[in-house]
Amino acid sequence: MMQQPGEHHAIWHFWQAPDRVFHGWCINLQTAFVRTVDGYDTQDLELDLIFSSDRELIVKDAELLDQRVNDGRYTPELVDWIRRYGDELIQRLEHARRLAASRHRSAPPPSRRRGHDPLRQQRWRDLLVRLWHHRFTRLRRTSATLDERARPARR
Over residues 14-31, the pLDDT tens digits come to: 888 788 888 888 999 999
Residue 155 lies in a domain: no
On whether the pTM is more than 0.95, the answer is no
Torsional sign, CA 28, 52, 25, 57: negative
Co-location of 34 and 98 in the same domain? yes
CB within 8 A of 86, min separation 6: which ones? 29, 47, 49, 59, 62
Same domain membership, residue 131 and residue 85: no
Same domain, 82 and 123: no
The answer on 86 and 124 residing in a single domain is no
What CATH number does the domain containing 22 carry? 2.40.380.10
Task: Tell me, yes or no, whether 71 and 132 share the same domain.
Answer: no
85 belongs to a structural domain: yes
Residue 28 shares a structural domain with residue 68: yes
Domain contains 4: no
Residue-wise pLDDT for 124-155, tens only, equals 677 666 666 655 555 555 555 555 555 555 55
| 37-58 residue pLDDT tens | 999 899 999 999 998 877 788 8
**Whether residues 29 and 80 fall in one domain:** yes
Using one digit for the tens of pLDDT, what is the confidence trace for 90-99?
888 888 777 7
Structural domain contains residue 63: yes
Can you give the residue range of the structural domain that contains 70?
9-105
- Is 14 a member of any domain? yes
DSSP percent split of the chain into helix, strand, coil, nearest 5: 50, 25, 25
Give the whole-angstrom CA distance, residue 106 versus residue 113.
12
Residue 111 CA: distances (Å) to CA of 11, 102, 107, 118: 35, 19, 11, 17
Structural domain count of the chain: 2
